[in-house]
Chains A and B, each alone.
Chain A
């Protein structure tokens, strides 16, 4: 015993850590390998038999996971964007230009105390943020991000599913408002119920024109119908619907100028007044995920989805059916030599351009430029060669332009009053949405008639 104890005590701290972890890892790896070997064939058979379910599980998990960085990105955009509009500097401490501050915020809400007030209904109080967050994530499932099946679950009633699920979020807000045992929370919950239910109607009515034009509720087909030049997007055929949809969607997402549910100068924080820690974090994340979803749906329905604004000419298409394996050992040589050659290639002009630039600086610059070149090459080749890369790039670009519009509105506009909000929904948006439906239907019938005669 003493020998073991003496040997152990002579180890440094890293040594102790390694001596503990390495055997553990070996045992775990061995166990995993043995399990896979034993269960593997059955597992493969099971997945092959239920491929659709397995695909859905993976896709749903991926969607759930990407909401977190999406929310981080939009929160950072909002903090920095509003700071610049306010003539402030904004976040600039954590990470380059403060870009990691939203991650720090996320960690902060994780570490804070999770407080349940006296008198609250603990079960409803706990589940309200989950309901709100999950409804947000579930609506993302039907958004087609790019062609070639980059959609979590495609089915022919996608749009209907979207509205059905997004309408559920109000249940979560009401639960939070009611269970908090606070009058401000209650007012916020009631306000959100009134607001979301009212704006659901013009929101759904405004997309009826698009459904009539596309002849389907399948979001993928709606996007495919808008392929070609940017003039083929539905925004030109449905200009009124875009405006109605965007306003109603802003109210749906409880964003400025319709953020009455969490109006901080009136009812403190609305339904989230009594929430703290990660429960508040869920509400907070859900709000920003909603902003992303609404921008994504606007892009999908009216702005061509993944389609580029300019059609790529057929004769410029490059056939990239290249098999890297056919190069054989040459592939290895290319991979090894290309960075070196490129670095020297970019370093030489830097080295020649001025005597002030030292050799190592030129080499470093050349290395950076070579890396940028390779990244650009990969993205460029991907853009030309693979439709889903191009589609994803265009989709994200359009979506984040709209997300910026939301941030811009938040930095500029004051809040409307509750009666003005209701008047606007029932007296203006709904009538205009009906007008849009009738005009679209009439136009479709007229065009059909003219085409036949």
Chain B
């Protein structure tokens, strides 16, 4: 259609042009870096495949541009930023209490760890002594949240490999935990429960009765849902040896958490740089040496069992007392800086906060493990098939809320 035939430049009917509706993943601007120029040059028999941001299994709104040769992935380029909300900037314009609710939706399947990271750094700034009962409640609820997060991971892992049932089975566990935490904190997902100097409210009867009920059958239920996958020939054959990473590369790519422990390094913030009451608790750091998808998956199954041990000890050792330290309403820490890290279900979740003496943080930097792990997808995926792209990405367990912040 020539320009003369068009009704007008801003007439919506020009969208009916032949070229309209054809989306090419190549960016409209000239390449900005050498890497971009190399990636967006097609070789013989290659084509681009745009996965996401609206795709059934990119775990949120991640966009991955795949350069494929038939079924083989030659190269790939993750495009981030579809869920960017500027949480770090928002935190600079909120006072210290409000920041806790701002960081909640970062890793939205394990919100308590986001709160814990922020709260821990603020407590370091303010030199607050947290009551021991509050510390135990924090450990208890956070470990429950870790189990819920890992349950979701196992279900998604199977769903990305085409299994329909495991996700619904693990959602039964997750739903029970989330309901339990809702009776404790008031919310199912974004709890906003931890406070500077304690937690918002003591354990209640509803929570305790649900927890006791669940704990009595948790081990058997988790074993049952894992039996469907761990003993499945197709699942194990697809996962074994897929996306392997060795210890050296993992350390170089700043891996932490289960992804690092799956390569054989027993690094866990709860033991390496202890915080809260973890030194008083008895639990193991499970490790595996293979470093492939199956190892990453099985390691999380082991971690769930350790979390159950921790919960059991918390319930037995929990002291009486207040759950909140005595603090003024308006918090004005002295000028300075504080850093704290917690072991989230994905790895090291760290918060670095700078105070200028006012009631708002001057700067808050959030180190999110999902973002760090997502850097290595290009490394892990080259030479694999399209079907494995999703499996490898799922095995790293990124949460896009945390990646894009």
- The complex places the Cα of A82 from the Cα of B164 at a distance, in Å, of 9
Return the chain B residue nearest A419 by Cβ.
Answer: B385
Query: CB < 8 Å: which of B56, B71, B238 contacts A416?
Result: B238
Q: State the interface size on chain A (CB cutoff 8 A).
A: 34
Chain A 248-275 residues near chain B, CB threshold 8 A: 256-257, 259-260, 263-268
Return the chain A residue nearest B66 by Cβ.
Answer: A183
What is the minimal beta-carbon distance from B275 to any residue of chain A, in angstroms? 37
Query: CB < 8 Å: which of B22, B161, B165, B168 contacts A412?
Result: B165
Q: A118-B22, A265-B56, A265-B390 are in contact. Are A414 and B232 (CB under 8 A)?
A: yes
- The complex places the Cα of A413 from the Cα of B47 at a distance, in Å, of 31
Contact between A417 and B238 (Cβ–Cβ < 8 Å)? yes
Contact between A265 and B18 (Cβ–Cβ < 8 Å)? no
Give chain B's interface residues, CB within 8 Å of chain A.
16, 18, 20-22, 47, 49-50, 55-57, 71, 158-165, 168-169, 172, 228-229, 232, 234-235, 237-238, 385-390
Query: CB < 8 Å: which of A82, A181, A257, A419 contacts B162?
Result: A257
What is the minimal beta-carbon distance from A135 to any residue of chain B, in angstroms? 25
Query: CB < 8 Å: which of B18, B21, B47 contacts A117?
Result: B21
Contacts of A419 in B (CB 8 A): 71, 385
What is the minimal beta-carbon distance from A110 to any residue of chain B, in angstroms? 25
Contact between A265 and B161 (Cβ–Cβ < 8 Å)? yes
Contact between A187 and B386 (Cβ–Cβ < 8 Å)? yes
Query: CB < 8 Å: which of A82, A181, A259, A264 contacts B56?
Result: A264
B16, B71, B162, B388 — most chain A CB neighbours (10 Å): B162
Query: CB < 8 Å: which of B162, B172, B390 contacts A259?
Result: B162
Q: How many A-B contacts at CB < 8 Å in the complex?
A: 91
Contacts of B385 in A (CB 8 A): 417-419
Contacts of B159 in A (CB 8 A): 265
Contact between A119 and B18 (Cβ–Cβ < 8 Å)? yes
Contact between A86 and B238 (Cβ–Cβ < 8 Å)? no
Whether a CB of chain B sits under 8 angstroms from the CB of A335 is no
- The complex places the Cα of A256 from the Cα of B57 at a distance, in Å, of 18
What is the minimal beta-carbon distance from A85 to any residue of chain B, in angstroms? 6
Whether a CB of chain B sits under 8 angstroms from the CB of A87 is yes
Q: A265-B56, A420-B237 are in contact. Are A118 and B18 (CB under 8 A)?
A: yes
Contact between A414 and B238 (Cβ–Cβ < 8 Å)? yes
Whether a CB of chain B sits under 8 angstroms from the CB of A228 is no
Give me the 6 closest cross-chain CB pairs, A-B, nearest first: A415-B162, A118-B21, A414-B163, A86-B168, A265-B57, A414-B161
Contacts of B164 in A (CB 8 A): 82, 86, 410-411
Whether a CB of chain B sits under 8 angstroms from the CB of A88 is yes
Contacts of B56 in A (CB 8 A): 264-265, 268
- The complex places the Cα of A33 from the Cα of B304 at a distance, in Å, of 78
Contacts of B389 in A (CB 8 A): 266
23 contacts between A and B (CB under 8 A): A82-B165, A87-B172, A88-B168, A119-B18, A119-B22, A184-B49, A260-B387, A263-B387, A264-B56, A265-B160, A265-B161, A266-B386, A266-B389, A268-B55, A412-B165, A413-B162, A413-B232, A413-B234, A414-B158, A414-B232, A415-B161, A415-B234, A417-B385
Contact between B165 and A118 (Cβ–Cβ < 8 Å)? no
- The complex places the Cα of A191 from the Cα of B386 at a distance, in Å, of 12
Return the chain B residue nearest A421 by Cβ.
Answer: B387
Return the chain B residue nearest A417 by Cβ.
Answer: B387
Return the chain B residue nearest A181 by Cβ.
Answer: B22
Contact between B386 and A416 (Cβ–Cβ < 8 Å)? no
1/0 contact trace for A169-185 toward B, CB 8 Å?
00000000000010110
Contact between A420 and B238 (Cβ–Cβ < 8 Å)? yes
What is the minimal beta-carbon distance from A318 to any residue of chain B, in angstroms? 48
- The complex places the Cα of A438 from the Cα of B372 at a distance, in Å, of 57
What is the minimal beta-carbon distance from B229 to any residue of chain A, in angstroms? 8
1/0 contact trace for A69-99 toward B, CB 8 Å?
0000000000000100111100000000000
Contacts of B390 in A (CB 8 A): 265-266
What is the minimal beta-carbon distance from A379 to any residue of chain B, in angstroms? 37
8 A-B pairs besides A183-B50, A412-B232, A418-B71 with CB distance below 8 A are A86-B165, A187-B49, A256-B162, A257-B162, A257-B234, A265-B57, A265-B162, A268-B55
Contacts of A414 in B (CB 8 A): 158, 161-163, 229, 232, 234-235, 238
Contact between B20 and A263 (Cβ–Cβ < 8 Å)? no
Contacts of B21 in A (CB 8 A): 117-119
Contacts of B50 in A (CB 8 A): 183
- The complex places the Cα of A396 from the Cα of B94 at a distance, in Å, of 69
What is the minimal beta-carbon distance from A269 to any residue of chain B, in angstroms? 9
Query: CB < 8 Å: which of A88, A259, A412 contacts B228?
Result: A412
- The complex places the Cα of A414 from the Cα of B235 at a distance, in Å, of 6
- The complex places the Cα of A413 from the Cα of B237 at a distance, in Å, of 13
Contact between A87 and B168 (Cβ–Cβ < 8 Å)? yes
Contacts of A265 in B (CB 8 A): 56-57, 159-162, 390
Contacts of B22 in A (CB 8 A): 118-119, 181
Contacts of A264 in B (CB 8 A): 56-57
Contact between B387 and A86 (Cβ–Cβ < 8 Å)? no
- The complex places the Cα of A270 from the Cα of B168 at a distance, in Å, of 24
1/0 contact trace for A24-60 toward B, CB 8 Å?
0000000000000000000000000000000000000
What is the minimal beta-carbon distance from B159 to any residue of chain A, in angstroms? 6
Contacts of A87 in B (CB 8 A): 168-169, 172
What is the minimal beta-carbon distance from B391 to any residue of chain A, in angstroms? 9
Contacts of A119 in B (CB 8 A): 18, 21-22
Contacts of A417 in B (CB 8 A): 238, 385, 387-388
Contacts of B20 in A (CB 8 A): 118
Return the chain B residue nearest A263 by Cβ.
Answer: B162
- The complex places the Cα of A416 from the Cα of B388 at a distance, in Å, of 10
Contact between A266 and B387 (Cβ–Cβ < 8 Å)? yes
Contacts of A416 in B (CB 8 A): 234, 238
- The complex places the Cα of A187 from the Cα of B386 at a distance, in Å, of 10
- The complex places the Cα of A267 from the Cα of B386 at a distance, in Å, of 8
- The complex places the Cα of A267 from the Cα of B390 at a distance, in Å, of 10
- The complex places the Cα of A415 from the Cα of B164 at a distance, in Å, of 10
What is the minimal beta-carbon distance from A317 to any residue of chain B, in angstroms? 47
What is the minimal beta-carbon distance from A407 to any residue of chain B, in angstroms? 11
- The complex places the Cα of A420 from the Cα of B55 at a distance, in Å, of 24
What is the minimal beta-carbon distance from A272 to any residue of chain B, in angstroms? 13
What is the minimal beta-carbon distance from B401 to any residue of chain A, in angstroms? 20
- The complex places the Cα of A417 from the Cα of B71 at a distance, in Å, of 11
Return the chain B residue nearest A265 by Cβ.
Answer: B57
Contacts of B163 in A (CB 8 A): 412-415
- The complex places the Cα of A119 from the Cα of B18 at a distance, in Å, of 7
Contacts of B18 in A (CB 8 A): 118-119
Contacts of A191 in B (CB 8 A): 71
Contacts of B16 in A (CB 8 A): 118
Contact between A411 and B165 (Cβ–Cβ < 8 Å)? yes
- The complex places the Cα of A417 from the Cα of B172 at a distance, in Å, of 28
Contacts of B160 in A (CB 8 A): 265
1/0 contact trace for A266-286 toward B, CB 8 Å?
111000000000000000000
- The complex places the Cα of A416 from the Cα of B229 at a distance, in Å, of 14
Return the chain A residue nearest B157 by Cβ.
Answer: A414
Chain A 88-134 residues near chain B, CB threshold 8 A: 88, 117-119
Contacts of A263 in B (CB 8 A): 162, 387
B50, B163, B228 — most chain A CB neighbours (10 Å): B163
Contacts of B172 in A (CB 8 A): 87
Contacts of A118 in B (CB 8 A): 16, 18, 20-22
